[in-house]
Structure 1
Amino acid sequence: MNRYSLNQATTKYWPLEDVVAASSKAELSWIGLWREPVQEYGVERAAKLVADAGLQVSSLCRGGFFTATDEAERQAKLDDNRRAIDEAATLGTEVLVLVSGGLPAGSRDLDGARSMVRDGLAELAPYAGERGVRLAIEALHPMFCSDRCVVSSLGGALDLAEQFPAEQVGVIVDAYHLWWDADVYRQIQRAGDRICSYQVSDWVVPLPADTLLGRGLMGDGSIELRRLREACDAAGYTGPVEVEIFNQDLWDAPGQHVFDLALARYREHVA
């Protein structure tokens, strides 16, 4: 259980102070944070809150969204990513999760969009390295390719990451987005020390109309979560395992109830 981390997106409406207090009371070691609520609370203030509770930040979500055809927009996104790197460094985490961005408006040029992602990494990787932060590329399920993330497989994420030093750029293994891929276990082994995080939720059917909110609690769906965790372990990953669930019913439930339930399901289906 010393690897367990609740990503605060799982309890979206629960105040940061409550998530931190619950994690500390449960004698956890880690917590996953999101930029928007951390910015609202105050980055330095949040860093002190977490440290005073005896916790470490497993990751900060998120940077990325590199795809843009307008040069001014592209520069604005790069500037925001630099701020995200600074925020991660202030919070004391070496992992900044990147969602790469979908196709630019009106574009069908998938290769071009992926080139923009590569160019963004090239621009930011040295700066991240200087700040002690790793850019962690998260591949999303192909259904999000057009609007959220043109990196749709762990192999594709590694093709990008391997163009940069491992201490600057790595990958996220997110069970929800990768479980379907027949090649995922070979790619996990390939990833090795580039694995920055293993994130868990479950694939439930039927999916809701808003597929972004289609993640379920561990054990409610189709994913071999423990097998994937063991594959990450075998590849050499020994870091935190984040529970990250986007689910409206969970968001609407009392935070402590969701916290307790997620912890119990992690013990049963992942640990």
Structure 2
Amino acid sequence: MSDLDLTRFSINQMTVKQLTLPELAAACRDLGVPAVGLWRAPVQEYGVEAAARLVRDAGLTVTTLCRGGFLTTVDADERAAALADNRRAVDEAAALGTDTLVLVSGGLPPGAKDLRAARERIADALTELAPYAEDHGVKLAIEPLHPMFASDRCVVSTLTQALDLAERFPAHQVGVTVDTYHIWWDDTAPEAIARAGAQNRIHTFQLADWITPLPEGVLNGRGQIGDGAIDMRQWQGYVEAAGYTGSIEVELFNEDLWAGDGRELLAETARRWAENVEV
């Protein structure tokens, strides 16, 4: 794939979930992919230190680690466990050589209906986690998820809500994740991107397309870039006008894509990326 400029391309590990970590590292090396975003579960299964050596030996930059978060519980023991798990996530990010830990904040606790209170519990948790992350050279990137996930997965649904939380902390501690799949519908998102950029809070930028009809099982309904309703270059324009110059990561969750050959999917994703972004 020497004809493509992939300098800023990062492949999120979940996009090619069918590849083992060694297979992913080898495929990236062979195809000229310079960077990866990793997920904790497969990294832990392989071994954090072993994974760090593997990606380092393959010459790969680790752009992000996903995920920390799930900080909305009201139970004291569950809160302590969540904080401990997030500190482990920070440790893992530092060991892997990435400075960005993506946070999926968590949904409403069972029986709860107060979204604002749940967001305040996130802020309380960040008061403890943000200094710990800074001490380890890691930034926390709050990711807003589409509102359809607000009840069970993420009470932070817009970039504005994410920034309202992040701005309570220094920008080098807490910022945001800009993911096209989750924010493309929001007319206020471009203004929020500019606001985030002015404060140097855009810690990562991720692409996935919105396809209709949504596949059964919405969580795994992200489309290959170029197949759906989102103008990727427009959103790239927003983040770059706001000062973002980092990697552009593709993060897809799609059962049909996972059913195919992982190396072929990686090559196709790289081609789609090159067609849909301005290098």
TM-score interval, normalised by the smaller of the two chains: over 0.9
Residue of structure 1 equivalent to 2:209: 202
Question: Which residue type is aligned with residue 143 of structure 1?
Answer: M
2:158 maps to 153
1:122 to 119, 124, 127: 127
> Which residue number in structure 2 is paired with residue 100 of structure 1?
105
The corresponding residue for 2:235 is 228
What residue is the counterpart of 1:85 in the other structure? Answer: 90
Rounded to whole Å, the distance in 2 between the matches of 1:110 and 1:189 is 25
Look up the equivalent residue of 1:259 and give its one-letter code. Answer: L
**Partner residue, 1:135:** 140
1:36 matched to 2:79? The reply is: no
Question: Distance between the aligned counterparts of 2:43 and 2:149, measured in 1?
Answer: 26
In structure 1, what is the equivalent of residue 248 of structure 2? 241
Q: Which residue of 1 aligns with 2:70?
A: 65
Separation in structure 1 between the aligned mates of residue 107 and residue 141 of structure 2, nearest angstrom: 17
Q: Extract unaligned runs of 5+ from structure 2.
A: 1-5
Structure 1 residue aligned with 2:267:
260
Q: CA deviation at 1:105?
A: 0.7
The percentage of aligned residue pairs carrying the same residue is: 57
Q: Distance in 1 between matches of 2:125 and 2:14?
A: 25
AA aligned to 2:86 is N
Match of 2:118 in 1: 113
- Quote the Cα distance in structure 2 between the aligned partners of 1:188 and 1:235: 7
Match of 2:167 in 1: 162
Match of 1:96, SS state, is strand
Aligned residue type for 2:274: R
- RMSD between aligned residues: 0.8
In the TM superposition, what is the alpha-carbon distance from 1:28 to its structure 2 partner? 2.4
Q: Does 1:17 align with 2:18?
A: no
Note the C-alpha offset of 1:260.
Answer: 1.0
The alignment's TM-score, normalised by the length of structure 2, stands at 0.96
Q: Tell me, in whole angstroms, the C-alpha distance in 1 between the residues paired with 2:79 and 2:60.
A: 35
Query: For residue 31 of structure 1, what is the amino acid of its counterpart?
Result: V
Distance, in Å, in 2 between the alignment partners of 1:96 and 1:10 is 18
Match for residue 8 of structure 1?
13
Distance 1:135 1:176 in 2: 20
Length-normalised TM-score, structure 1: 0.99
- Provide the rounded CA distance (Å) in 2 between the counterparts of 1:168 and 1:136: 9
AA in 2 matched with 1:65: F
> Cα offset for 1:139?
0.2
**1:231 positional shift:** 1.2
Instruction: Give the Cα–Cα distance (whole angstroms) in 1 for the partners of residues 277 and 160 of structure 2.
Output: 23
Q: 1-side partners of 2:213 and 2:51: how far apart?
A: 37
Deviates more, 1:115-124 or 1:19-28: 19-28
CA distance in 2, matches of 1:234, 1:108: 37
The count of corresponding residues between Structure 1 and Structure 2 is 271
CA distance in 2, matches of 1:270, 1:151: 27
CA distance in 1, matches of 2:239, 2:29: 26
Kept after mapping to 1: 8 A contact 2:31/2:267 = no
Q: Distance in 2 between matches of 1:119 and 1:250?
A: 38
Deviation at 1:270, TM superposition (A): 2.2
The Cα of 1:123 is off from its aligned counterpart by 1.1
> Separation in 2 of the partners of 1:156 and 1:79?
25
Paired residue secondary structure (1:73): helix
Extract unaligned runs of 5+ from structure 1.
none
The one-letter amino acid paired with 1:38 is V
